[in-house]
Amino acid sequence: MALTLPLAINMARLTSGNQTFMPADYPSEKIRRASAQKACDIDLEGTQKVIPVVKILDPTTVQQVDESVSIEPVQESNKKKKKRRNRKGKGKGDQKGDQKSDVSGERNIFQDPELSEAFAGSHVSASTQHKTEAFRRTASLAIQRVIVSLQTINEHRSPLQLLQASIATFLEGPQIASFIYRQLQVAAMLGETSIFVPKDIILDPRDPEFNLPWNSCKLATTLVLLIACRHNEVFEALKYQSGQLGGLPTLSLIRSTSSSSFAQAFAKAKKAALSGEMATTVIGVSLTDVHIFELNVRGKAKPYTSFAHSFVVGIGPEGVVIWQSWGEYGYRLDEYLNRDGARLRNWDEADEFVRDFTRLVFRKSTWNSEKNKYYQKCFEVDVNKICGRNGPQRPIVPKFEAWVQLHVIENVKVEDIKNFTFE
């Protein structure tokens, strides 16, 4: 089967210099999926550790910073890794450590400290090997259970209700969600809707596939857009928050393109929802920090934290739902869901959110208490506390200039949300 043009282009760009040579008789389908997985590995390699630093790559192509933190590759020495493994959880969502259970109360089978320490050493005892086999069996069953739940969600719901239920089911456990998301990502790279879950997969708790950073707003945004979009839109949904695929803005693009109006897009979606169309619209919103780009050009970005953020809003006849997560010292997507953040909001609540967002992004200024107030109302994070004198992160950028980029999916149908199937 021939590669689609977007996939072929990105395979060449993402895997150049990282070729994996395979036997001539290796099945072509496995080569396709292995190539797509390699591309996904490269694109997500920077999401394995979240650090409060704006890491600079190229003055002309600075990536949008992820809700006050940068998500970049981090090389650590074995000594630092061991020290980090022994340390209790750090940041909101990990303040008490997550080694026994996640916030939903489900046992976190992927963060067993005894198992992790055994893998870190050079010797694996018989008891640890037995424990590893138990892990693999438990993980396999958990993955199968979530997949069955996704496939059997009642279709006799509105598109917005079905999207709500699908995201909630997907995030029943963050580690299971990580594994299934990687398969979803491969399918999107291939331009397919069939998600391949190999039966003979070897499950390893050390594998980054089980530990994606669900506190990344980019990851949360991409997941919702992928599930909501139509078959021919999956690659664009994947690209929207991906630097490797060219979806994130550059300073030249920002300066040559007007900021999009979320308020106008919301008003149009609301009208479509309440009119005879009764349509559902899903909007990805990317809030870009312009000043951090300019500081980077002058080589002065490193001492500061960015306010950049992204989120998704679903608008239907019954109301509005918002999905988001926020960085190391904020919250993961599953935590946001568990505290009813993605609840159905009435039109008064939704209109207030849009007004607060508009007030936040309106006009250039210094970062001040008013900006912090509207940021906290929209995104449930007190930036002044996190980035204050005694906060865990570096100071927020001194000047505030926002640039907004939207990804709009109009007239979302039930069949779009049920688009992906599992092999």
Across 6-20, 38-52, 65-79, 319-333, the highest mean pLDDT is recorded for 319-333
Provide, rounded to the nearest whole percent, the portion of the chain with pLDDT above 70.
Answer: 64
User: Which residues span the domain enclosing 295?
Assistant: 31-422
Is there a domain that residue 16 lies in? no
Please give the mean pLDDT across all residues of the chain: 75
303 Cβ contact list (under 8 Å, min separation 6): 394, 395
CA 378/CA 170 separation, integer angstroms: 24
Q: Regarding predicted confidence, which is higher, 318 or 137?
A: 318
Domain-embedded: residue 202:
yes
With 70 as the cut, is the pLDDT of residue 261 above it? Answer: yes
pLDDT at 26 over 90: no
Residue 21 vs residue 377, higher pLDDT: 377
Cβ atoms of 292 and 14 closer than 8 Å:
no
Q: Tell me if 9 is assigned to some domain.
A: no
- Give yes or no for residue 302 having a pLDDT over 60: yes
Average pLDDT over residues 304-329: 97
**pLDDT on residue 383:** 96
Token pair belonging to 13: 């760009």
**In this predicted model, what pLDDT tens digit does every residue of 374-394 receive, in sequence order?**
999 999 999 999 998 889 999
Q: Is residue 86 part of a domain?
A: yes
Q: What is the pLDDT of residues 397-416, one digit of tens each?
A: 999 999 999 999 999 999 99
User: Is residue 422 over pLDDT 60?
Assistant: yes
- Least confidently predicted of 38-47, 53-62, 307-316: 53-62
Q: How far apart are CA 376 and CA 381, in angstroms?
A: 5
Q: Is residue 7 one of the residues assigned to a domain?
A: no
Whether 206 is covered by a domain: the verdict is yes
Number of domains composing the chain? 1
Banded model confidence at residue 39, pLDDT cuts 50, 70, 90? low
pLDDT at 130: 61
